Amino acid sequence: MQLQKAQIEMDYNFRAIEAKWRKFWQENKTYKTEIDNTKEKFYVLDMFPYPSGAGLHVGHPLGYIASDIYARYKKHKGFNVLHPMGYDAFGLPAEQYAIQTGQHPAITTAANLKRYREQLDQIGFSYDWDREVRTSDPNYYKWTQWIFLQLFHSYYNIELDKADDIKNLVALFEQEGNASAQAHGDQETLFTAAEWNAMSEKEQQSILMNYRLTYLSDSFVNWCPALGTVLANDEIKDGVSERGGHPVERKKMQQWSMRITAYAERLLSGLDKIDWTDAIKEIQRNWIGKSVGALVSFEIDQHAEKIDVFTTRPDTIFGVSFMVIAPEHELVNHITTAEQKDAIKAYQVKAAARSERERMADVKQVSGAFTGAYAKHPFSGELIPIWIGDYVLASYGTGAVMAVPSGDQRDWDFATKFEMPIPAVIEGQDVSEGADANKEGIICNSDFLNGLKVKDAIVKAIEAMEEKGIGKGKTNYRLRDAVFSRQRYWGEPIPIYYKDGMPMAMDESQLPLELPDVDKYLPTEDGEPPLARAENWKTAEGHPIETNTMPGWAGSSWYFARYLDPNNTGEFASQDALNYWQNVDLYMGGAEHATGHLLYARFWTKFLSDKGFLPFDEPFKKMINQGMITGNSKFVYSLVKSVKSSSTLNIPDNKNIPSIYIPFKAIQLRNKKNQSFIDDKITLSENETTYLNDLNLKIKVLEKVINEGLSNKFGKDLFEVKYSEFAIKSNVDVSIVTNDSLDIEAFKSSREEYANAEFILEDGKYICGSEIEKMSKSKFNVVNPDIIIESYGADTLRLFEMFLGPLEQSKPWDTDSIEGVHRFLRKFWRMFHDGENNFSLTDAEPTKDEQKILHKTIKKVEDDIERFSFNTVVSALMICVNELNDLKSNNKTILEQLVILITPYAPHIAEELWEKLGNQESVTLQAFPTFEPKYLVESSHKYPVSFNGKMRFMLELPLDLSKEEIEKTVMEHEESQKWLDGKTPKKVIIVPKKIVNIVV
């Protein structure tokens, strides 16, 4: 350790260097950003972190490092780069902690933020910290609440295809009622102007709720009584809450919702103009779930009610041979005949016992029951049976389907099981083996649709339905309005109060509505949210204030805009700032937010753009999703032990009986040996057999020694320990394993029961097994960046995280291979120094070779950063340093450029060397080196010469040779003669500057 420290101080002293430049950047505000109209802007943003108590592990900064490299690169390229960071500081973990400890979540959050900031600062990011935002700061959430009010005061005008002031809608109602209103909403009944004007304010307000973009309504939610809150679908795992594992029930509650459905079409079409991965776009498309078809009404025989179904294939209406409605459908009990009552009841009970998840996952089991009722076919008037079946879910669409067994596999399965007809409606259709979902073909057996192509038949069918008044063309979206209320404490209060039970918006001047103090962070006795505990939670006039708070996604739906002008008190951001900085050019983050944050942020952006508050309608132009860094878990294998004794009283405590650990290799061989019984191709080699025999012998010897030791300690022959063939695999902390070799002393002292462990060694080492798993505390495979920085420095960490592999792929962390990039940095450092670590460079004119190496690297680094291939840049820099080293080059002109080239990746060492080169200004502000093609001009090319596509030899040829001359030279070469073997080539392919291929 002493020596190592001395070594560090001898040459590349990263600890001193990094501390020095961190201080310099902070003191000189090197990364402060301001509007500069002379420069083009570039906005690089990382997804908002939630500061958890556990701090950062090495997986977290992966994206931050990549975006920081890109931001720094863009700055070198002359852009005015905005690169801020802040925190999504409201959230459930802090609240859970508050419930347990009584400590205010603001205090825990502040402590976590401090820790995050310390960790982030160590890594050397170029964030402009003066722009930091925190969603839990009243100066921030004032504007979150303000946006809520804007939504409350707006409705969606279908004619203008954008959000509009609700006052305009009220004016229309006063003049014409709602019959002509082109407004997206849930209002089903019509009223005249006179009726509207005659309504009480309360009645009017309740109607307006059906139009407002944020509105109060009853909706089904996943209520978790133990947590006293509603959970999102993805917060529920296997029917219980993800956190704590408490039961969850479906419950109808009055909730604030966001009318995101009004934006369904624009959220869908907007995807075409943004540069995101196809995977994320596809997830959003599926989530929005647009389907075009028709809504058809089926009359029920002997009943007044009708059953509505939505279908994407109205052309197959004559292929309907039965109907299936969900077991929970509201009409089931009403229409079921007396004879069928018992069967239906029994089936309903059965279906209710299965979770929705189960019903969805299980495709193979077909089940259902007949109601005894019949529907009338809307065209033929034929009676068709109505069944219930659990493959139809009440919560989707209308909860009913018109079954077309010839065209839908599930309907086909159902028809086959219950022996119902499967009428073909497309010419030449074979439905004996299964349904045919093909959308090509000519319709038949379908009255007025006969002879039409599917596409035309769909149009014609809808026309006919509309004419007959039994259906209409409809576009259906799967997307549902987003529930916005949370029964939690640690979130933004909703700026609403209740006047005689009527929800009223607070005035903007009263914002921020600050989060009040409460005595406990739990729901009240009667199930009211925690805010109901606050004293005097009323307006000045005494009206009670809303007690729900906003969800986690509220603050993160617009934060990118606040960074543009974070300290503005008069508006969320000034028009100047918005017009200059615009939207995010590069957004870096995980793909897991595909249907949450990324959809809601797009929705709010479109709304704010509609209202003229934002000059753009998509928040994130380009997005890159970094992959997860997985952990590399290490395992040890202890033999199963058993103790034989005449009396249980004589057996010593288990921790006194040593475990025997066998190497990973032994486990592999034993597995292989067992397989050999099944597959006779697998046999152990002589060496392997010897190894195993040797191992068994060693175990026997150890067993004997252990038993003797125990006898001496606890008395003779009282008991005997036996070690079986079987081994137990257990996780061992990755920090005590180097190159799969276990630090046995550290292992023994880590726990009392390990203290007397025995190891079977190979070459004096115990080699562990390893497996790739998610990083988690329980697997002892979490690697903390602080430790890496302490032993190798932040520049090494930055380079290494990039060097691991392509950014977007998930990849395992392996601390051992970090040596490579660290060695590279030391090598780089030594290029600038002599043997005594004195800074020493030559001022000579660079040679042609040196220039070539440099410019090849400039081009490669630039091209690769532009296409976000961060890993290959590191290789390119390594190759450059290796090649310059081979030339024993220490040319100042060349190395000066190289320092700038490496700055985005390793800013600390770059600053230090830049300063030593005699510069005053920070290297981060220097222009990126210009690539000069003239240095790469070649006069010859080394051609690989292939015969029948197989490369046989290399041949260097001048570039100015014609194809004929190349062919002649190649054919005359003695190697060619050998491969031609006297034959005449059939064909010679010459691709200039690429290859020569001779076909024999």
Partner RNA sequence: GCCCGGGUGGUGAAACUGGUAGACACGCAGGACUUAAAAUCCUGUGAUCAUUGCGAUCGUGCGGGUUCAAGUCCCGCCCCGGGUACCA
Place of tokens 């008991």: 719
φ/ψ bin of 16: left (φ > 0), alpha (ψ from -120 to 50), beta (otherwise): alpha
Asked if 821 interacts with RNA (CB under 7 A), we say: yes
Q: Which amino acid is at 424?
A: A
Q: How far apart are CA 317 and CA 425, in angstroms?
A: 9
Smallest distance, Å, CB 943 to RNA?
8
Instruction: Specify burial of residue 430 (Cβ count, 10 A radius: 0-12, 13-18, 19+).
Output: exposed
Residues ≥6 apart with Cβ < 8 Å to 620: 45, 274, 276, 560, 583, 584, 587, 598, 601
Q: Which stretch binds RNA (CB under 7 A): 238-246, 558-566, 868-876, 925-933?
A: 868-876
Among 380, 683, 689, 809, binds RNA (CB under 7 A): 809
Strands 737-738 and 741-742: what pairing? antiparallel
Minimal distance in Å, beta carbon 286 to RNA?
Answer: 5
Q: Looking at residues 152 to 211 of the shown chain, list those that interact with RNA (rule: CB under 7 A).
A: none
Q: How far is the CB of 490 from RNA (least distance, A)?
A: 25
293 binds RNA (CB under 7 A): yes
CA distance 999 to 989: 8
Q: What phi and psi values does residue 864 have, to the nearest 5 degrees?
A: -70, -40
Task: Between 392 and 422, name the residue whose CB sits nearer to RNA.
Answer: 392
Choice from 528, 814, 849, 967 touching RNA (CB under 7 A): 814
In the bound complex, what is the minimum distance in angstroms from residue 761's beta carbon to RNA?
A: 14
**Contact criterion met (CB below 8 Å) for 324 and 303:** no
Q: Which of 19, 363, 682, 844 binds RNA (CB under 7 A)?
A: 363
Neighbours of 385 (CB within 10 A): 17
The residues, any chain, with a CB within 8 Å of residue 536's CB and separated by 6 or more, are: none
Instruction: List Cβ neighbours of 836 (8 Å cut-off, separation of 6 or more).
Output: none
Burial pattern 939-973, b for ≥16 Cβ within 10 A else e, equals eebebebbbeeeeebebebeeebeeeebbebbeee
- Minimum CB separation from RNA for residue 975, in Å? 8
The single residue among 4, 189, 302, 984 that binds RNA, judged by CB under 7 A, is 4
Dihedral class, residue 897 (left if φ above 0, else alpha if ψ from -120 to 50, else beta)? alpha
| Contact residue for RNA among 398, 857, 889, 903 (CB under 7 A) | 398
Q: Binders of RNA among 870-929, rule CB under 7 A?
A: 871-872, 874-875, 878-879, 882, 885
Is residue 291 part of the contact set for RNA (CB under 7 A)?
yes
Applying CB under 7 A, the span of 404-412, 615-623, 692-700, 724-732 interacting with RNA comes to: 404-412
Least distance to RNA, CB of residue 436, Å: 14
CA distance 135 to 911: 34
- Residue from the set 131, 359, 486, 602 that interacts with RNA by CB under 7 A: 359
The stretch among 262-270, 427-435, 490-498, 819-827 that binds RNA (CB under 7 A) is 819-827
Tell me if 959 sits within 8 A of 938, measured CB to CB. Answer: yes
End-to-end CA distance of the chain: 65
Which tokens belong to 57? Answer: 């592990």
Residue 675 and residue 689: Cα distance in Å, rounded?
14
Q: Does 401 bind RNA (CB under 7 A)?
A: yes
Report residue 385: phi and psi, to 5°.
Answer: -65, 145
Candidates 226, 279, 701, 887: give the one binding RNA (CB under 7 A): 279
For RNA, which stretch binds (CB under 7 A), given 23-31, 235-243, 310-318, 752-760? 310-318
For RNA, the binding residue among 84, 105, 319, 399 (CB under 7 A) is 399
Q: How far is the CB of 871 from RNA (least distance, A)?
A: 5
CA 533 – CA 488 distance, rounded (Å)? 12
Phi, psi at 91, each rounded to 5°:
165, 160
Nearer to RNA by Cβ, of 138 and 434: the residue is 434
344 vs 629, which CB is nearer to RNA? Answer: 629
Contact 107, 492 (CB under 8 A): no
- Residue 368 is a binding residue for RNA (CB under 7 A): no
By CB under 7 A, residue 346 contacts RNA: no
Residues 579-618 that bind RNA (CB under 7 A): 591-592, 594-595
Place of tokens 């034989």: 644
Identify the burial level of 114 via C-beta atoms within 10 angstroms of its C-beta, where 0-12 means exposed, 13-18 middle and 19 or more buried: exposed
- Pick the binder of RNA from 393, 505, 746, 917 (CB under 7 A): 393
Q: Does 693 bind RNA (CB under 7 A)?
A: no
The secondary element (H helix, E strand) that includes residue 24 is helix 14-28
Q: How far is the CB of 888 from RNA (least distance, A)?
A: 11
CA–CA separation, 774 and 589 (whole Å): 18
Closer of 160 and 682 to RNA (Cβ): 682
Q: Cβ closer to RNA: 638 or 890? A: 890
CB of 397 to RNA, least distance (A): 3
Stretch that binds RNA, among 60-68, 300-308, 457-465, 814-822 (CB under 7 A): 814-822
**Where does 319-436 show beta strands of DSSP type E?**
322-325, 369-376, 383-388, 400-403
Tell me how many residues contact RNA (CB under 7 A): 95
Q: Which of 5, 7, 176, 579 binds RNA (CB under 7 A)?
A: 7
Q: Is 289 in the site for RNA (CB under 7 A)?
A: yes
- Nearer to RNA (CB atom), residue 404 or residue 506: 404
Q: Smallest gap, in angstroms, from Cβ of residue 808 to RNA?
A: 7
Q: Give residues 457-486 in contact with RNA (rule: CB under 7 A).
A: 476, 478
Q: Does 361 bind RNA (CB under 7 A)?
A: yes
230 binds RNA (CB under 7 A): no
Please provide the size of the chain in residues.
1000
Which of 9, 40, 301, 362 contacts RNA by CB under 7 A?
A: 362
Considering only the stretches 45-53, 451-459, 521-529, 940-948, report the one whose residues sit in contact with RNA under the rule CB under 7 A: 940-948
Q: Kindly state whether residue 450 participates in binding RNA, applying the rule CB under 7 A.
A: no
- Binding to RNA (CB under 7 A) within 949-988 occurs at 949-952, 954, 987
Q: How far is the C-alpha of 641 from the C-alpha of 647, rounded, in Å?
A: 17
Task: Answer whether 202's CB lies under 8 Å from 502's CB.
Answer: yes
* Residue 654 within binding range of RNA, rule CB under 7 A: no
Applying CB under 7 A, among 944, 958, 963, 973 the residue interacting with RNA is 944
Residue 282 or 382 having the CB closest to RNA: 282
Residues 492-521 that bind RNA (CB under 7 A): none
What counts of helices (H) and strands (E) characterise the chain? 32, 34
CB of 278 to RNA, least distance (A): 5
Contact at 8 Å (CB) between 87 and 556?
no
Contact 384, 404 (CB under 8 A): no
Among 31, 141, 391, 766, binds RNA (CB under 7 A): 391
Residue range at the interface with RNA (CB under 7 A); choices 239-247, 258-266, 822-830, 887-895: 822-830
Choose which of 803, 828, 868, 914 interacts with RNA (CB under 7 A).
803
816 binds RNA (CB under 7 A): yes
Q: For residues 134 and 811, which CB has a smaller minimum distance to RNA in the complex?
A: 811
Beta-ladder partners of 524? none
Residue with smaller CB distance to RNA, 125 or 828: 828
**Closest to 738 measured CA to CA, from 818, 633, 816:** 816
d(CA 915, CA 93): 45
Within 316-335, the residues that bind RNA by CB under 7 A are 326
The residue to which tokens 């290399």 are assigned: 954
Helix (H, G, I), strand (E, B) or coil at 168: helix
Residue selected from 41, 410, 439, 748 as contacting RNA according to rule CB under 7 A? 410
Residues 974 and 628: their CA atoms lie apart, in Å, by: 54
